[in-house]
Amino acid sequence: MRFTLLIVTLLFSQLTYSQSIASYNSNANKYDKKDNFVQIVEKTSFYNSDGIKTDIEYKDFNKSMQLTSLKRLDDKNKLIWLNIYKYDSLQRRISIYNKRWINKIGYQTKLSKYKYDSISNFIQLDYNSKNQIMNIARYFFDKEKNLIRLENFNGNGNLIGYETANYDLENNVVVVNQFNNKNELINTNNRAISYSGDKKQKPSNKYNEQGDLIFYKRNWNENDNVCYTIEYKYDKKGNWVSKKRYSHIQIEGGKLKKKKTNMVKTRKIKYR
């Protein structure tokens, strides 16, 4: 089954406020309503040649499993990111307030507001700290609530660019064609529609019984032999509470050598 969707995107230099089809779909159903989370406190440590970089993220949820706030602190307990979400009585997002720290500049804020029509298509208006409209996005959905058109404009209402996407649901593949505001094709890429359950991103990827990714190749180029393995620990409800990622060099025969810790995540989950 194939569907053709029209999605509008900003050029890479102007992606501050806009969404791509990939980011929208990955965030649309990120949390299952059955999870019944109240809060997740997630600590992440990245390991590199410069040492270890750690941050802590706090996510709070309402009864509909919608995020109400997301706060991220660095290893010195300094606020580096904050999102505050608000919803209407139908649990449709109506605003996101964002505050983030930018080195050498300081804190920057923005506000996104969402306005819906009678069939839940909506317009997203992005404002800077001076209450000036910076970007406008128009979202259109089909009867199954799938995004079928996304248009991005600058603050003056001028079209910036758009994407068209061909969906092959049976094979879990979407082909995205990106166009500028002159209808010129500037990029084409293929990606998976879903990465969960039995929906595999790549044949070489490996998953555990819970459906979580445990092995993948970096694939920066055809000679890249770096790969990653991931180890998990789960709580009694089957949600992971520890996630460790290791880098390896894959040699002939598929054997893995030079194991190094790449990233460690821990989660404390509070349920309703």
Pair 12, 155: CB distance under 8 Å: no
Instruction: Tell me the residue length of the chain.
Output: 272
| pLDDT per residue as tens digits for the range 70-94 | 999 999 999 999 999 999 999 999 9
> Tens digit of pLDDT for each residue in 145-196?
778 788 889 999 999 988 887 778 788 887 888 888 998 999 988 877 776 5
Q: 267-270: long-range contacts (C-beta < 8 A, 24 or more apart)?
A: 267/40, 267/41, 267/42, 267/43, 267/239, 267/240, 267/241, 267/242, 267/243, 268/40, 268/41, 268/241, 269/37, 269/39, 269/40, 269/235, 269/237, 269/239, 269/241, 270/37, 270/38, 270/39, 270/40
Q: Place 32 in a pLDDT band, splitting at 50, 70 and 90.
A: confident
Predicted confidence (pLDDT) per residue in 212-265, tens digit: 999 999 989 989 999 999 999 999 999 999 999 999 999 988 899 999 999 999
pLDDT averaged over every residue in the chain: 87
